Amino acid sequence: MAEHNKEEFLSVSNLEVVYTQARRVVHAVNGVSFKVPKGSTLGLVGETGAGKTTIAKSIMRILPDPPAKILQGEIYLDGENLLNKTENEMLDVRGGKIAMIFQDPMTALNPLITVGDQILEVLLLHNSYSREEGMKRAGEMLETVGIPAERYGEYPHQFSGGMKQRVVIAMALACSPELLLADEPTTALDVTIQAQVLDLINDLKVKFQTSMILITHDLGVIAQTCDNVAVIYAGSIVESGTKEDIFDHPTHPYTNGLFDSLPSMAGEDEMLHPIAGMPPDPTDLPKGCAFSPRCPHAVDACRKGPVPMKEISPGHFCACIRKGGELDG
Ligand SMILES: Nc1ncnc2c1ncn2[C@@H]1O[C@H](COP(=O)(O)OP(=O)(O)OP(=O)(O)O)[C@@H](O)[C@H]1O
Ligand code: SF4
Ligand SMILES: [Mg+2]
């Protein structure tokens, strides 16, 4: 890979995706742009329905079409435009260069095939291993995620939820993907197992220099794993920056709302402040700032037209007319 591309290993520009059913058009992703440098992790955080999974599936090129349609945008991985690739070319990219850990790990496993053989299948698809070499490598992958290789011949139902998720991660990592899309990898797990899986993801990042997008609605998960953060609301990124920018200087009213709705560290009796109201109807997004119906700082100007991203400090971007501009405050 050319040196100058390192900062733009993955580059998504102006991505727009809709789902059309009958006459309803769901505006799921509305002009999203971001970059993931080589070896770094981007946290994509936002409420349910914000468009997170749709973005990941766009990169994997596994959106169901119909109803999904990419209306515009570019997705470059290591200098190649993924949106111009044929389905055959994408077969090589998937599981080879990019792997995805799906939101529901249980559906990613076949109950009738042993966990070892499921990892083996992925390996054989993308490598010229003999069966024997592949089995050895699959056993090593199990060990990497903390499962003894002797359990190769067991079936998914013989594993706990956390271990199944580890198997899914082993499958995703079996071909040393250069980009890993992890969609809520720990949501289904209890807190202790969650911590173990996050540790594992962090270890693998160091070991394999994997670039990652970690999708979550949980800022705690972001804090433990990510270098950069993009906050997404109603299909648009409303704030992005380094983890420190977002955690130490949250600026967009929606980002602040997310932090205020976190269980306080101060004590169990502290009041939570969930963001009032509901996300907007994606078939009928508000004109102007999509957050305006819920925003405590909204003024008439917020509802007039598109709100552009502004760089409020180097590398820290925010889409709010009242932040970093003349309506500040
Ligand atoms: N197959 C589909 N057909 C129609 N609409 C869809 C489809 N998949 C997703 N959507 C809609 O697109 C929008 C974005 O959904 P998406 O699954 O990307 O959100 P998300 O941020 O991943 O949410 P969650 O946190 O619940 O996983 C939502 O309004 C959703 O209802
Ligand atoms: S643009 Fe207006 S409505 Fe939107 S977040 Fe900023 S203050 Fe709130
Ligand atoms: Mg999702």
- Give pLDDT tens digits along the chain (329 positions): 444 467 889 999 999 999 999 889 999 999 999 999 999 999 999 999 999 999 999 999 999 999 999 999 999 999 999 999 999 999 889 878 999 998 776 778 999 999 999 999 988 987 789 999 999 999 998 988 889 999 999 999 999 888 898 899 889 888 778 999 999 988 777 777 778 778 878 887 888 888 999 999 889 899 999 999 999 999 999 999 999 999 999 999 999 999 998 876 545 556 678 888 999 999 999 999 999 999 999 999 999 999 999 999 999 999 999 987 556 66
The domain segmentation of the chain, as residue ranges, is 10-97+177-263+272-327
> What pLDDT does 262 receive?
81
CB 230 within 8 A of CB 50: no
Of 297, 317, 327, the one to substitute when testing ligand 2's pocket (max ligand atoms within 8 A of C-beta) is 297
Q: What does the DSSP 8-state code read for residue 94? A: B
Q: What is the pTM of this model?
A: 0.92
For residue 46, the ligand 1 atom closest to its alpha carbon is 21
Q: Which of 292, 318, 326 to mutate to test the pocket of ligand 2 (most atoms within 8 A of CB)?
A: 292
Rounded to the nearest 5°, which phi and psi values hold at 128? -100, 40
Residues 6 or more apart whose CB falls under 8 angstroms from that of 260 comprise 272, 273, 275
Retrieve residue 84's tokens: 């111009």
Best mutation site among 15, 17, 52, 187 for ligand 1, i.e. most ligand atoms within 8 A of its Cβ?
52
232 lines ligand 2 (CB under 6 A): no
Cβ–ligand 2 contact at 319 (below 6 Å): no
Instruction: Give the DSSP H or E segment for 168.
Output: helix 161-173
CA angle 99, 279, 106 (to 5 degrees): 35
Bin 167: left if φ > 0, else alpha if -120 < ψ < 50, else beta: alpha
CA of 28 to the centre of ligand 1 (A): 7
The total of other beta-carbon atoms located within 10 Å of residue 188's CB is: 16
Residue-level pLDDT at 269: 57
Supply the CATH classification number for the domain 10-97+177-263+272-327.
Answer: 3.40.50.300
10, burial (CB in 10 Å: exposed 0-12, middle 13-18, buried 19+): buried
307 lines ligand 2 (CB under 6 A): yes
- Give me the residue label for tokens 């011949």: 153
